[in-house]
Structures are given as C-alpha cells and as structure tokens.
Amino acid sequence: MGLVATMAALVLGLLVASTKGAYDTQKGEVSQMAAKIVFLDRVLANYGSETAKTRELLRGSVGSAMDRMWPDKKSSQTAQLDPSVSSGEAFFNSIQNLSPQNDVQRSLSLKPCRSLPISVKCAGCCSSRRKRPYPFPC
C-alpha cells in the first residue's frame, strides 16, 4: 500500500510541476507580447500624427485578438469572425503605406515590425510578395 501511495504522490507531483511550467511559459509569452504591442504603439506615436489611424487599427486588432483568445465568459455569444476582412492585414497595410518624411521617421521605419512577435510578423507582413516601402525583417 505504501508503494502505491508513493507512486501516486510522485505522479501527482509531476503533473502539477508540468502544469505549472506550461502556465508560466504562457504567462511569460503573453507578458512579452503585451510589452511588444505597447512598444509598437509608442513607436507609432513617436512617428507622428499621421499614424493615428494606424494606432486605432492596432488597438482594434489587439482587441479582436483578445476576444478570440479569451472570449467573455458572461456572454453566451461566440465571437463573430469574418474571414474576408482581417484587422491585422489592415493594420499592416496601414504601416506599409507610411512614408518617412524626415530623419526621425526614417530611423523609426524598421522598428515597428521588429517589435512584433515573430509569429505575427511572418504571418502578416512577410507573407506578401509585393514591394513594401519598408524592409520588414523576420
């Protein structure tokens, strides 16, 4: 009986450790993504007033992504996703349409996409083959 209890305790301990590790990893990734989004918003704010629409699109994209990841438990309604329109694509197109007018804007031109998580960068801006005003690194 002692062996069974010891084995059960060992298995339960490993299960708890594995779950905590997975939670800590996801918590770190969410925190890092949030910091990068805030940094991107600050870069766009420093770029100038012409990025106001781009910043609104960023906020909308982040809000819709949050609703898809963590739907509101109070509402029984699921998120309505329109596959033909992507707020993320509109955001990246808005960034691509920016053209630097001075040295400060030129120095900031590479930073917005560098601050995004790599999965978002490669899925959004690096998948298109058309010529972009900024070289977005992946």
Q: What is the mean pLDDT of residues 28-56?
A: 91
pLDDT tens column, 55-100: 999 998 888 778 777 777 776 656 555 544 577 788 888 888 888 8
Average pLDDT, the chain: 75
Residue 20 CB burial class (10 angstroms; 0-12, 13-18, ≥19):
exposed
Residues in contact with 73: Cβ distance below 8 Å, sequence separation at least 6, in sequence order: none
Is the pLDDT higher at 51 or at 123? 51
Q: For a pLDDT cut of 90, what percent of the chain falls above it?
A: 30
pLDDT tens column, 51-63: 999 999 999 888 8
